[in-house]
Every structure is written in structure tokens, then in C-alpha cells.
Structure 1
Amino acid sequence: MKKYPILYFTMVLAGLLMLSTACEDEDLNPYIEPLSGVHAYGQFAEDSPTNFIKGESSEDLNINLQWISIDGELEVDKIDVFVLFNENYVDIDRNPLVAAHGGEEGKFYMSIEGSEIPANRENTTISISQEDVFELYKEATFDYDDDGNAESVFSNEFKPSRTDNTPFISGDNFSIRWILYTTDGLVFDSWSPSVCTELPGANCEVSWILECGQIIKEPAQDYTISMADSYGDGWNGAAINVVIDDVTTSYTLDAGSSGTTVVTVPEGTTSLAFEFVSGDYDSEVTYSITTEKGNTIASGGPAPPAGKITLDLCTENE
């Protein structure tokens, strides 16, 4: 059983008002009154797709966002929403890199204010499509070969598969983040890592990818599941279920910091799915699933969401 320092949860709440991690004196009174502050929690609406689908540029993703007042005193009267667009690419030396076209902040997408602001812990819905993201980033440029000359992101020799109908391709990933403004003039634009990844009912962004459907064209092959635990004591009840023609087999990391398992899916398989099963300390859990072709079709963590795992099949199904 894990034991955290006595100030751990106090530090989580105090971190809400800090732009960087601070040190706490272990000798301080552990019964510190929680500082006031606000954070937010975003998640996909129950009936929403959770990724962009290649070729379906006008379909919306719907994200429910709620703001939360820690002490019940502060109230939010404005939320600014920003969209980030990152692109995986390979440089001239064949190194895999990431182009963060919106930097760390992203591009401004919308403000929610006035009568559109929900009450504390109530949802407001943000809708976004590929067309919306393209409109934000259509003028973006990037120096892919590091020669001092930036190329258009959506029209260049490095990514000829980008077209008017499919501006986004495999390897693109997206997220939204937010800034909260309170009625007394405070601005909350970043939170401690504990709030973003470990505090229940809180996060700092919602992320997704572009996918090419969820049916693997050639399911019969070997799949390598790589599992890691940052604490080094195994997955504590978490697992990955592999569902082959409605027959479920569970795989987990029983102990240690890392491990792999190879799952052989037999010829004649008609349906294949992967599911993540939540354990006691999901914030320590990361995983990836790789096919025989060497394509990583899924990865998750820390704190991966429970349920069916969304697969990235754009390269696998080519």
C-alpha cells in the first residue's frame, strides 16, 4: 500500500494558485486551511465522438467543461478556450520530432461569458470540428528541414497527403486548454501537475487525435503491449483487456516498473478491441500497443481513461 507525505493533499490545493511547483516545509502544521482557487474539468460528452475521423471534416466533437470553486467563494465569470495543434514529423536526419504549431499556449478559439457561464460544477458544451481547427491554423508555417525557410503546414512536399478534403493526417494531435477569470479580477491560467493529472474531477486540457476508424483491416497478427509504472510496484489492479470475437483476456503488470507481453490474434478473427481497466493508482500507469508492422496504434497515461481504447489506424490500414 502506498503512503504519501502528510502534506500531499494540502499541497495539491495550494498548487492551484501557483504557476510553478514550490517546496513545502515538512515541519509545518499539516492542518493548513485550504487556499481559495478555481480549476476546471473537461470531458467528452457521452454521445460525442472522441477523435476526429479522417475525411469527416465537419463533424463536431462535443466537450463538456465545468469550473469548480475550491472554497465555494470564488466565482468564474469568463472562460477563454484555446486550441493546440501538434504534428509528428521526421526531420532530414530521420529523427522523429513534434511541431507544436500553436506553441504551448495554442490559438484562441472562443470565450464563454455572461449568461453562457454555467454555475459552479455545471457543464457548458464546447463544440469543435476539423474545419474549426483548420480555420485557426490555415496560415501556419514550419521549418521542417531546419534550413531557415518555413513551409506552409497544409501545402508542402513533406506532407503531400494533406488535401482540401483531408487537411489533417495521421500523426496530428489536438487539445483544448482554458483560462478562468473570476468576478473579483483573478486570472487562473495554469495549475500544479498534481491538479492536472491526479486530483479527481480536475484536468488542464482535453486531447484527441485524428483516426481512420476503429476496424483493423488485418486483425490476425501479434500485438506487443508495453506497460510501465512510474512508482515501480506494478499496476495495482489496472489492466488491458484484449477482446477477440467477444472473448476477453486481461493483461497487467504484476510488479516492477515495466514489462511487455505479446498477444497473438489468430487467423479467422472477425472483431478485435482493447480496453483499459482502472486500478488503484492510474496516475502511475502508461502503456502502448504496437503491431507487427511497427505501428503504435494506441498509447495512454498517466491516468488513462477507463473503457474502450481508441486506436490510431491511419498508418496501419494504409
Structure 2
Amino acid sequence: MKKILTYTLFFGLFILLGCRDESLNPMPGWEPGVHAFGVFADIAEPKDGAGSRPNAVTNAVNFPLTNQSAAKENLKIRWVSLDNKLTVNKVEVYINMLESYNDADGNPKSASLGAKLIKTLSPAAGNREWTAFSITPDDVYALFKDATVKYDGTNAVKVFENPARPRVAGQRLLNAGTVNKLAVSADQFVMTWKLYTTDGLVFSVWNSDSICGDPTPYSQASANCSLTWTVK
């Protein structure tokens, strides 16, 4: 009797699954996607299979403290389609500036000025091929010259007119130092990107573990989601 019941349940389940209407399946199928890998162009690429990625390490290359009008950050980025089903025809590059300061009580704070579009690239290169570009301190200043922070919690003050951290032409972006005998960190810059494909798709958010924190050794499929540098 138990065997008959078991066989009945087995064949009933087989018929149920075999006749399932997949159009009614609430789970979406996997769709193609793209990601990118942004690096500091002045640092040589490692060999395939190498564990480290020195050209993508935080603060690997920084803005100088002096003569900033003549400086630039050389960068490059490549888009990657693992299944070759999508083509990227536009890359938007964004910069967020983080300013360190001490509040009225002397507590260390960091103000995010928000990510702003700084470059629009039309990559002529194909899948996994580099597109080079540069970002200068003057580019960053032009983006954030009107940004404000409420340093005292009430009054909005332009970042580049903050009397506690005076900035002058040629040295608008600051390195680490002291304000009222308290340490403050250097200005920091976080570059992110948005990818547009010929199919009209837009990619701006990726999985933080497999893409943004790509744990695999360096290869043509390497990925990241941002680059960060400072002033030194």
C-alpha cells in the first residue's frame, strides 16, 4: 500500500511539473548585463591572474597640494559584457567630493557634496577595451564651487569660502591638516559611472560583493564600481 501511494505521489508531481505553464512563473529569467572597470591610467596593469589591482587601489594616485591648475588625474575605463549580448555606447562619469571638518563641538565630520556628472564618454572601443580621459582639480572646482555645508548646523556656507579652511587659487583642494588645533582629513573624491547600451538599457547599480568588491584575480573581466583619491 505504501509503494502504491509513493508511486501515485511521484507520478502526480511529475505530471504537475511537466505540464506547468512557464508564462505564469512569477520568477523573472536572467537578463544580460554589463559592468565596468575604472583604473588610474598612470599605473601599469597587472598580468592576468594577478591577485592585486594596484591601478584601482584607493589613493593610488592623488591630486597635488600645489600648482593644481596644471595637474590632472589620468584615468581609463572599459565596459564588459560577459556574454557579448550588449554594447555600451555612452558612459557617464560622476564625482562626489567629501570635505572633512570639525563641527562646533570639535567633533570630526565629513560632508558629502553629492555625486555630479563630470564627464560624458562615447566609447569607440569595443567590449573590454579602454577609453581614456582625465579629470583636473579645476574640473572639480567648477562642479562644486557653489556647494554649501551647514558647518554650525544652521547656516549654509560655500565650501570654497569656509573661513575655517581657507582655499586660494592654485590650491583650492586641501590635504590633511589642522583646524583650531584639531586634525582634519584631506578632501576626498569618489568617482562612479553609469553605462548606457544601444538597446536603451541603463546600468548604474551593481552587486556590492561580486562586482563592486570583485574578489577574483585580475583579468579582462575584472570589475569595480568606483575609484577614490585625495590630495597629497
TM over 0.5: yes
1:172 to 179, 187, 199: 187
Contact 1:53 1:210 in 2 (8 A): yes
Give the C-alpha shift of residue 199 in structure 1: 4.3
> Distance in 1 between the 2:162 and 2:98 partners?
16
Larger radius of gyration: 2
Change in 2 beyond 3 A, CA 1:199/1:187: farther
Q: Does 1:63 align with 2:75?
A: yes
Distance 1:135 1:79 in 2: 20
Relative to structure 1, is the Cα distance of residues 41 and 190 closer, same or farther in structure 2, using a 3 angstrom cutoff?
A: same
In structure 2, the residue matched to 1:85 is 97
**Secondary structure of 1:101's aligned partner:** strand
> CA shift at 1:35, angstroms?
4.4
User: SS of the counterpart of 2:160?
Assistant: coil
- The equivalent of 1:156 in structure 2 is 162
Q: Deviations over 1:262-309 (max 9, x none)?
A: xxxxxxxxxxxxxxxxxxxxxxxxxxxxxxxxxxxxxxxxxxxxxxxx
Aligned mate of 1:51, from 43, 49, 62 = 62
* Aligned with residue 184 of structure 1, among 199, 211, 218: 199
Secondary structure in structure 1 of the residue aligned to 2:32: coil
What is the alpha-carbon root mean square deviation over aligned residues?
1.8
The answer to whether the Cα contact below 8 Å between 2:89 and 2:196 also exists between their aligned partners in 1 is: yes
Name 2:38's counterpart in structure 1: 42
Unaligned 5+ runs, structure 2: 1-28, 45-59, 176-185, 217-221
Distance in structure 2 (CA, Å) of the matches to 1:172 and 1:117: 33
Q: Which runs of 5+ in 1 are unaligned?
A: 1-32, 212-318
C-alpha separation in 1, matches of 2:67 and 2:208: 34
Deviation, structure 1 residue 75 = 0.8
Residue 197 of structure 1: CA displacement? 1.0
TM score, norm. by length of structure 2: 0.70
Task: Identify which of 113, 124, 132 aligns with 1:117.
Answer: 124
Which letter maps to 2:96? L
Question: What is the distance in 1 between the residues matched to 2:187 and 2:146?
Answer: 16
Distance 1:87 1:159 in 2: 10
Q: Return the offset for 1:47.
A: 5.5
**Identical counterparts, % of pairs:** 38
Alpha carbons 1:78, 1:182 under 8 Å: kept: yes
Q: Distance in 2 between matches of 1:183 and 1:122?
A: 17
Kindly tell me the number of residue pairs found equivalent between the two proteins: 172
- Residue matched to 1:282: none
Q: Deviations over 1:242-264 (max 9, x none)?
A: xxxxxxxxxxxxxxxxxxxxxxx
Q: Distance in 2 between matches of 1:117 and 1:187?
A: 18
